[in-house]
Chains A and B, each alone.
Chain A
Amino acid sequence: MSIKMPMTSSSASVMESPSPAVRNTRFERDPAPSAVSARAWSLGSTLTKILGLSVFAFLLFGPLANLVLWSFAERWYAPFKLPVSYGTRYWEVVFRPTGDAMSSLMTSVGIASLTVLVALAVSVPAGYALARLRLPWRTALMILFLLPQAFPSVAIYINVARVFYSLGLTGTITGVVLVHAAHGLVYSVWISAAAFAAVDKDLELAARNIGASPLRTFFTITLPLAAPGIMASAIFVFLESLDEFTGTFFVGVPQVTTLPLLLYNASMGGNYQIASITALILLVPSILFMLVIERFLRADVLSKVGQ
């Protein structure tokens, strides 16, 4: 704080001067070195930046590259730095219609779709209530939905599995869907609430004024306007369910084998090709989502998340 005060007063004078002048003063500050050493310095600095960026890119993509290599490696053993022979044999094994991988993919997508339905069915009303209606302890309620995510979850899941066992829900799709939905609820509730809060109230009032019932106003005005945000929350929940490992590990075994569980079993069994191909299948939606997320979550909705 002590540094910021004098800065703020000087920043006012900087703001008044046009920006080229700002640039000039910064250049004058440096003592003018000879042209040769300046060029060497700038070349050295560019080389350092390129080197730094390359190391960063290697650390970032190296692990992913290794995954791709393994998925196409038919034989790869110790002294060889790269696979001994390449091929798509394991891809054929994975994508064989009767294989474990295809049935796991079906199970995973089915569970994720059901999870989205369950989560949206409870979160759209909850999100509307949190955004538009008067609720006691609203902040506490919002935090309650966050807790399953921001809590050491293993200890919760072992007890969920114990309770489910007595109800006959362990090893069933229903059990896994319930666990995934509770885990994803923070996204669906928080983002739906933000989406409803971003809808212009005047439009609803206009609809009511010309005689629409509250229910009709909700279904023809509010819900369509909030739909992109709700769509984004559905994608979040879908991905969260597709990638979920811990909950399925305790509640789903041994009957329900989702892709993450198949990956885990293959990897622990030493079958790196199957594990790598499964990992790549899981990677596709995650990376697509990273690239398109900004289109679904508009800034006006994003700014209201968690409020």
Chain B
Amino acid sequence: MARPSFFGLLLIAPALTMIGALFLYPLGYSLAAAFTEPGGSLSLMHFQKAYELYSTDILFTLFIVIVSTILVALFSVAIAGILTLGETPWLVGALRQLYRWPLFIPFIVAAQCMRTFLAKNGLMNNALVALGVMEPIQATSFLDWRGIIITFVWKQVPFVTLMLAGAMASIDPATIEAGRNLGASRLRVLIELVLPQVAQTLLVGLVLSFVTMLSVLSVPMMVAGSQPTMLTVDMAFRINSYGDYATANALGVISYMIAGTVAWIYLRHNVKREAQA
């Protein structure tokens, strides 16, 4: 059994071929298109053009994705914290039933919901006006960067909360009881006792959310129409309007680098943790 099974390799070969043909090959293709001039020699000219045209959108994308990730972290820690440490059974029960509804809702459906909900005359503004919280004249449309962030947070919080609540449920309840008995408030128990034990799960959830939000095309297209917009929309625009694969692929490589940086932060944290253990 010490040497690899030839039969095993044979069984896994079709799946690997599929990934190779439909992921690795196009990936190589995109790198080649981004780094070569029309003549065929290596150059960074496409990156220069991408930067000149879309530097605002690169910053805009980073801003949206980073702010959304921070908000997702805050909300999911709060909800998972209430689920784990809450002492009001009906509140915990209701929250457990409610929070995961958006979990499997596709991004495009979420985008269509928000497109109507956050509009100037949408249900959110109408409800606030009807409750007397806001004057009709103050109603503004949220269909810009705020709308994208709200949609991302709405869609991703259930996912990260599900992972976090699972991890929190599996930590030793004695540590929580001990902290509470020593007089620590629930907030302090959450931040100082529970969070350090589930930090790894939180980080995995946030990294996956970050990359997902970076890759979504439908939400920025449908929720916020005009400039500035996210890199995914710019790539689609370069292709569909100009057939400009070089600049689109340069923008693609920039988004790989953003995702790669986040993956690198995650891996570095992992290595550090293993060194400590």
Question: Which A residues are CB-close (under 8 A) to B129?
Answer: 81
Alpha-carbon separation in the docked complex, A67 to B74 (Å): 27
**Which 7 residue pairs are nearest across A and B when measured between Cβ atoms?**
A155-B252, A133-B8, A243-B106, A63-B113, A11-B178, A159-B26, A182-B22
Question: Which B residues are CB-close (under 8 A) to A295?
Answer: none
Interface residues of B in 101-155 (CB under 8 A from A): 101-117, 121-124, 126-127, 129-130, 154
Smallest CB separation, B17 vs chain A (Å): 8
Alpha-carbon separation in the docked complex, A189 to B112 (Å): 32
Cross-chain contact B211 with A150 (CB below 8 angstroms): yes
Binds B, one of A86-94, A119-127, A201-209: A119-127
In the complex, which residue of chain B has the Cβ closest to the Cβ of A10?
B178
* B256 close to A (CB within 8 Å): yes
Question: Which A residues are CB-close (under 8 A) to B178?
Answer: 7-8, 10-11, 14
User: From DSSP, what is the main secondary structure of chain B's interface residues?
Assistant: helix
Question: Which A residues are CB-close (under 8 A) to B70?
Answer: none
A22, A57, A145: the one contacting B19 at CB < 8 Å is A145
* B44 close to A (CB within 8 Å): no
Q: What are some 26 contacts across the A-B interface (CB < 8 A)?
A: A7-B178, A10-B182, A14-B174, A63-B114, A64-B113, A67-B116, A121-B14, A125-B11, A126-B15, A133-B7, A141-B16, A151-B215, A152-B215, A152-B232, A153-B215, A159-B26, A159-B27, A159-B29, A163-B25, A163-B26, A178-B22, A239-B104, A246-B216, A249-B217, A260-B108, A286-B106
> Can you add 10 more A-B contacts, CB < 8 Å, to A11-B174, A162-B29?
A49-B91, A60-B99, A67-B112, A81-B126, A121-B14, A126-B11, A156-B26, A156-B30, A239-B104, A289-B104
A25, A121, A264, A289: the one contacting B181 at CB < 8 Å is A25
* A232 close to B (CB within 8 Å): no
* B88 close to A (CB within 8 Å): yes
Interface residues of A in 110-137 (CB under 8 A from B): 121-123, 125-126, 128-130, 133-136
B123, B192, B221, B245: the one contacting A162 at CB < 8 Å is B245
Cross-chain contact B232 with A154 (CB below 8 angstroms): yes
Alpha-carbon separation in the docked complex, A141 to B12 (Å): 9
Alpha-carbon separation in the docked complex, A189 to B100 (Å): 25
Smallest CB separation, B33 vs chain A (Å): 7
Cross-chain contact B26 with A160 (CB below 8 angstroms): yes
Q: A133-B7, A134-B3, A249-B217 are in contact. Are A154 and B236 (CB under 8 A)?
A: yes
Smallest CB separation, A96 vs chain B (Å): 21
Interface magnitude class on chain A = 35 or more
Cross-chain contact B113 with A268 (CB below 8 angstroms): no
A163, A185, A239, A243: the one contacting B29 at CB < 8 Å is A163
Q: A141-B12, A158-B252 are in contact. Are A4 and B18 (CB under 8 A)?
A: no
Number of residues of chain B lying within 8 A (CB) of chain A: 93
In the complex, which residue of chain A has the Cβ closest to the Cβ of B109?
A279
Cross-chain contact B236 with A249 (CB below 8 angstroms): yes
Question: Which A residues are CB-close (under 8 A) to B190?
Answer: none
Alpha-carbon separation in the docked complex, A61 to B110 (Å): 11
* B68 close to A (CB within 8 Å): no
Most buried by B among A22, A61, A162: A162
* A53 close to B (CB within 8 Å): yes
Cross-chain contact A49 with B211 (CB below 8 angstroms): no
* B208 close to A (CB within 8 Å): yes
Q: A66-B122, A155-B256 are in contact. Are A57 and B15 (CB under 8 A)?
A: no
Cross-chain contact A152 with B26 (CB below 8 angstroms): no
Question: Which A residues are CB-close (under 8 A) to B1?
Answer: 134
Cross-chain contact B256 with A152 (CB below 8 angstroms): yes
Smallest CB separation, A279 vs chain B (Å): 4
Smallest CB separation, A201 vs chain B (Å): 13
Smallest CB separation, B20 vs chain A (Å): 9
Smallest CB separation, B54 vs chain A (Å): 14
Cross-chain contact A125 with B108 (CB below 8 angstroms): no
B4, B88, B196, B218: the one contacting A135 at CB < 8 Å is B4
Q: A14-B181, A267-B112 are in contact. Are A135 and B215 (CB under 8 A)?
A: no
